[in-house]
């Protein structure tokens, strides 16, 4: 592995993308960007990052923000527990570290929402500690340059790759970690054909020399996806719509349109909703989470008076103050047409 390290490091220093969180090595900036980048493409994160930093420029501001406002800032990024954990960690940093980001790998790893990958990234980039940051990109590049037909979903393999990389880490661990990740993101890409012609390792990479790059890495584990059906009630009273805070399960504590499990008939809806003045079947949507698939249909229902423990709010209020998960966004777009 040693012979690849300098090639990756030099390539990164010459070719790294100009990204807003790379302007400095402030751990707050690196931390927020790393959490946003989990499950989200870089291009999509840039605007969110700017908006977040404008409103919450410091750890203290993050520790004091109201949860609803925080979730609104996070709206569209999904996996909202990431945002809640940011705030929890910020409160701990304010209380236990006097507002200064902790500087050891173990302390960083102990913060809510920070796993080994993120702790490795922050501690190497910001504090130059000899720690690795192993994500899917890094494992793919490692397996290809070493022509290893390994199953990277296997935790023992992940551990082994981390150990191999750690043995060969250069002093500039932060730039090396970012370099191998970036190589996996832009050159040694997943699926399809990696761009070996542009790769600094093309004369050394074992998989490329043996024409095996597309066969590596192997993935044996298939994620089991369960399916659920929902009926949404798009309740309208005057110019206001009913929202409800989800109490359990996936998206707990997020705002949603009132709903019930299963596909309900007109008759069944009429039995549940009082004061109906009109009702019509509306759009359907399928939303796919990592392990779940929601099949959602909906009814537009006008009611004569507000009822229940819902928040009755108008469209501009929803846009400004209520974070709706993306599963519900097609329904929000649909009710906007009626205003």
Q: Please list the active-site residues.
A: 34
Looking up tokens 């009814």 gives: 299
Of the candidates 171, 175, 141, 130, the one whose C-alpha atom is nearest the C-alpha of residue 11 is 175
Tell me the residue ranges of DSSP E strands in the chain. 226-237, 240-245, 255-256, 259-261, 276-288, 292-303, 311-314
d(CA 66, CA 55): 12
Could you give phi then psi for residue 185, rounded to 5 degrees?
-80, -35
Looking at the Cβ atoms of 189 and 329, the one nearer to ligand SF4 is 189
Looking at the Cβ atoms of 195 and 293, the one nearer to ligand SF4 is 195
Least distance CB 213 / ligand SF4 (angstroms): 4
Tokens read off for 73: 């800032």
Least distance CB 184 / ligand SF4 (angstroms): 8
Least distance CB 80 / ligand SF4 (angstroms): 34
Least distance CB 144 / ligand SF4 (angstroms): 4
d(CA 188, CA 205): 11
Distance of CA 155 to the CA centre of its chain: 21
Sites of contact with ligand SF4 (CB under 6 A): 141, 144-145, 187-188, 194-196, 199, 201-202, 205, 207-208, 213
Tokens read off for 158: 């992940």
- Identify whether the C-beta of residue 115 lies closer than 8 Å to the C-beta of residue 101: no
Looking at the Cβ atoms of 194 and 325, the one nearer to ligand SF4 is 194
Least distance CB 139 / ligand SF4 (angstroms): 12
Looking at the Cβ atoms of 114 and 180, the one nearer to ligand SF4 is 180
Looking at the Cβ atoms of 181 and 207, the one nearer to ligand SF4 is 207
Looking at the Cβ atoms of 66 and 197, the one nearer to ligand SF4 is 197
Question: In whole angstroms, how far apart are CA 325 and each of 38, 220, 245, 322?
Answer: 17, 31, 11, 10
Least distance CB 109 / ligand SF4 (angstroms): 29
Of the candidates 336, 324, 339, 301, the one whose C-alpha atom is nearest the C-alpha of residue 80 is 324
- Identify whether the C-beta of residue 269 lies closer than 8 Å to the C-beta of residue 279: yes
- Identify whether the C-beta of residue 237 lies closer than 8 Å to the C-beta of residue 303: yes
């Amino acid at each position: 592995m040693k012979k690849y390290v300098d090639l990756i490091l030099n390539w990164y220093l010459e070719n790294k993308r100009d990204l807003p969180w790379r302007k400095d090595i402030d751990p707050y900036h690196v931390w927020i960007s790393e959490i946003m980048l989990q499950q989200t493409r870089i291009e999509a994160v840039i605007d969110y990052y700017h908006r977040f930093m404008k409103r919450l420029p410091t750890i203290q501001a993050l520790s004091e923000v109201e949860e609803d406002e925080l979730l609104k800032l996070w709206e569209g990024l999904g996996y909202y527990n990431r945002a809640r954990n940011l705030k929890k960690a910020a409160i701990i940093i304010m209380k236990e570290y006097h507002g200064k980001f902790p500087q050891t790998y173990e302390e960083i790893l102990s913060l809510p929402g920070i796993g080994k990958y993120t702790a490795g990234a922050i501690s190497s980039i910001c504090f130059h500690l000899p720690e690795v940051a192993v994500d899917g990109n890094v494992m793919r590049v490692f397996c290809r340059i070493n022509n290893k037909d390994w199953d990277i979903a296997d935790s023992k393999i992940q551990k082994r790759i981390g150990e191999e990389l750690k043995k060969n880490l250069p002093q500039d661990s932060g730039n090396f970690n970012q370099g191998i990740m970036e190589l996996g993101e832009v050159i040694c890409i997943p699926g399809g054909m990696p761009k070996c012609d542009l790769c600094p390792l093309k004369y050394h990479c074992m998989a490329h020399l043996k024409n095996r790059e597309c066969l590596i890495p192997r993935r044996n584990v298939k994620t089991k996806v369960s399916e659920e059906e929902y009926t949404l009630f798009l309740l309208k009273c005057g110019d206001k719509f009913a929202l409800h805070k989800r109490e359990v399960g996936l998206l707990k504590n997020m705002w949603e349109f009132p709903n019930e499990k299963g596909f309900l008939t007109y008759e069944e809806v009429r039995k549940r909703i009082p004061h109906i003045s009109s009702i019509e079947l509306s759009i359907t949507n399928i939303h796919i989470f990592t392990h779940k698939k929601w099949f959602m249909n909906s009814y537009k229902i006008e009611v004569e008076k507000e009822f229940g423990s819902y928040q009755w709010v108008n469209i501009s209020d929803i846009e400004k103050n209520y974070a709706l998960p993306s599963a519900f966004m097609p329904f929000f777009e649909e009710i906007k047409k009626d205003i």
